[in-house]
């Protein structure tokens, strides 16, 4: 196995994805957890790039960093008594042991399926796989999937109206 620049970058991205997870899980300060989550999300986007899923990577950045994380930070900033971290982020021995066992089972299952099936991931690129997925997805959305695309727009409008109805609690 020859290590090239690509592999080094991949390892860096993988480390950037996994290491902050520990801070997210173990930090006593919920704000630190939220900021560590930023690097995990960014790292996941990087992993998608390595899988040649450029659209998914961009969407990951827009939705998870631009949407979910910002929403999370707002929720933290607007919550009172957030300094009382110990009550919100306590770790009990029982839960840790249970979580540890479940994680070990999942890792074991994944390793077993990998070894027993001898999955050889194709190193050569699939010729059918488009170079840029964004362009192909755009073409598909306006040809084959035109109807779902249009229905989604109505769905979002209905949800927008609905959330305004629910949020407007004053009785007119």
Residue 120 contacts another protein per CB under 8 A: no
Task: Select 95 or 144, whichever has its Cβ closest to another protein.
Answer: 144
Q: Mask of contacts with another protein, 153-172, x by CB under 8 A?
A: -xx-xxx-xxxxxx-xx-xx
Residue 140 contacts another protein per CB under 8 A: yes
C-alpha span between 85 and 21 (Å, rounded):
18
DSSP letter (8 states) at residue 125: P
Contact (Cβ atoms closer than 8 angstroms) between residue 134 and residue 55: yes
C-alpha span between 63 and 56 (Å, rounded):
10
Residue 145 contacts another protein per CB under 8 A: yes
Residue 129 contacts another protein per CB under 8 A: no
Number of residues interacting with another protein: please give it, by CB under 8 A: 26
C-alpha span between 128 and 108 (Å, rounded):
33
Rounded to a whole number of angstroms, the minimum distance from the CB of residue 160 to another protein is 10
């Amino acid at each position: 196995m020859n290590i090239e620049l690509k592999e080094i970058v991949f390892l860096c991205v993988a480390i950037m994805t996994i290491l902050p997870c520990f801070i997210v899980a173990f930090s006593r300060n919920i704000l630190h957890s939220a900021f560590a989550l930023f690097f995990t999300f960014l790292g996941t986007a990087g992993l998608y790039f390595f899988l040649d899923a450029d659209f998914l990577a961009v969407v990951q950045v827009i939705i998870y960093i631009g949407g979910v994380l910002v929403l999370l930070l707002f929720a933290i900033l607007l919550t009172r008594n957030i300094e009382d971290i110990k009550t919100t982020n306590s770790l009990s021995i029982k839960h840790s042991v249970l979580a540890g066992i479940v994680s070990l089972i999942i890792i074991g299952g994944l390793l077993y399926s990998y070894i027993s099936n001898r999955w050889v991931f194709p190193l050569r690129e699939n010729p059918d796989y488009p170079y840029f997925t964004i362009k192909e997805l755009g073409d598909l959305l306006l040809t084959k999937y035109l109807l779902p695309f249009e229905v989604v727009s109505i769905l979002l409008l209905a949800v927008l109206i609905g959330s305004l109805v629910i949020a407007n609690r004053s009785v007119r």
